Chain A
């Protein structure tokens, strides 16, 4: 009764608002909000210098560099190949297309630990692909990057696909009629329409990669200062009962994720505005 009187903008004949919203708010508070606030409250109990010693030692800084750097490079590669994959899946009929299309979601469906051990096996020096490469992949920062590429691909492809499907063919015909070559049409007509979506896909893949743990720790080798990602460092601190230190690093990562989430929302609003007009 209380909820509907305070929150409803207009009366509805449908029942169940209080029950549905009341339950949803209770559940979301117990499962998400209260637990997450614990991380911030725990960190707030630290002094500024304690916070800095926990979150800015050389070892932690090295882990940020690796996590953010590898995530960035992985998302960048995913944007390039994600565009190719999405383009091929939407535009070119070829045998097995539907199978390939369904398999794009594999990184969503395959548990990260499974992905982790199988990528490690393939890219190890005696693995299928590892033995063909002149440099080491498994147990190096390159391995971290490989795992993050795996994790991020569906984000770019699945964000691009609906936009490519809805792309108005008349625009391309108009460009062709006006004498544009195929490459010019792509670079000046199609790409500008896709740009906000590509950025959104990049941000989604990047955000996911930042927090990724399961697929990375098997292939990374986890050497401090070299191939140790930030989520692993949080676990290491926890295992040493340094709860405050672990939480402080977690808060740094949470703030970074929330900023990216905000950016993604802005990007999507921009993309809607831009594509809505076409």
Chain B
């Protein structure tokens, strides 16, 4: 409403007022800041971000290449580093699809149906975000650790969860749990259920509705969630650190490899591995930005549809 009305009032003011040319300008001057203040605020914002965001990002790459390309490459192709990369990819490849299926299922239930306990369920989905990563690791130690609930049973069956790959996967699943569901729920709620109901009336079964109606509608939000989930899964440190046991070549992920190298004063190696993750972060930001525009468009389309 306001967007439509605003130009007209300005136009009216310009035509009817006795000081026509200066009135809108005076108004604009009084609803924005003087130029010097604008520039100082921009400078202040950029200075703050330079100190706390840009400098840390830049230093990763500078430190990584400080001793030259040979040292950099050697640090990355070293067997322990490669096995860390491999383990990180494994944990990510397991946890992202799991959380993807969960996200779609829970969003379907929440957005397409009206049921008791919905708001409680919504709160529970966000729970892992408010839990410290360290505690996320700890709770799995309490269950699967040697002194844990299932510790004796696991030992009797000669299986290891804690200080082994399954524990790392579990901790990663926990910390990345809400990402996809959180992106899907607001969008699917805004989209409503008319299209699915229409498909149903036309004789489509559940899977057909999902694949041909719902999925095309949510694909960008889904991708957005996957991007965020993936970034966190590959970069998770605290939770994984608790359950990993830091066994070189076996239970070290990329972030843990960074820690060990750093603590042994192999700074070039630590920053080389860090540069891979920082590059991943930059790719994430680019993808996120591109997909975000599409999701935004979709949301504002829904809003205008509903308004008309």
Contact = CB atoms under 8 A, between A and B. Distances in A.
Interface of A: 6-10, 12-17, 19-21, 23-24, 27-28, 31-36, 38-39, 42, 81, 84-85, 87-89, 91-92, 94, 98, 100, 102-115, 117-119, 121-122, 127-129, 146, 149-150, 153, 168-170, 172-173, 176-177, 182, 185, 207, 210-214, 218, 231-232, 234-235, 238, 241, 243, 246-247, 250, 253-254, 257-258, 260-261, 265
Contacts of B274: 113-114, 117-118
B174 interface: yes
A122 B285 contact: no
Given A35-B140, A108-B231, 7 more contacts: A92-B41, A102-B288, A110-B56, A110-B57, A117-B262, A118-B63, A218-B259
13 contacts: A12-B193, A16-B206, A20-B108, A24-B109, A36-B131, A102-B289, A105-B285, A106-B281, A112-B235, A112-B255, A149-B52, A185-B31, A238-B242
A122 B201 contact: no
Looking at chain A's contact residues, the main secondary structure is helix
Nearest to A170: B2
Given A110-B278, A121-B59, A23 B102 contact: yes
A128 B130 contact: no
Contacts of B44: 81, 84
Nearest to B259: A113
B139 A109 contact: no
Interface in B45-61: 45-46, 48-49, 51-57, 59-60
Given A118-B60, A128-B59, A103 B142 contact: no
Given A8-B113, A110-B278, A150-B56, A253 B174 contact: no
Looking at chain B's contact residues, the main secondary structure is helix
- How many B residues touch the partner, as a band? 35 or more
B285 A102 contact: yes
B138 A246 contact: yes
Given A106-B281, A112-B237, A150 B258 contact: no
Contacts of A260: 130
A148 B123 CA distance: 25
Contacts of A211: 130-135
B212 to A, nearest CB: 14
Interface stretch (B71-79, B114-122, B218-226): B114-122
Contacts of B237: 111-113, 213-214
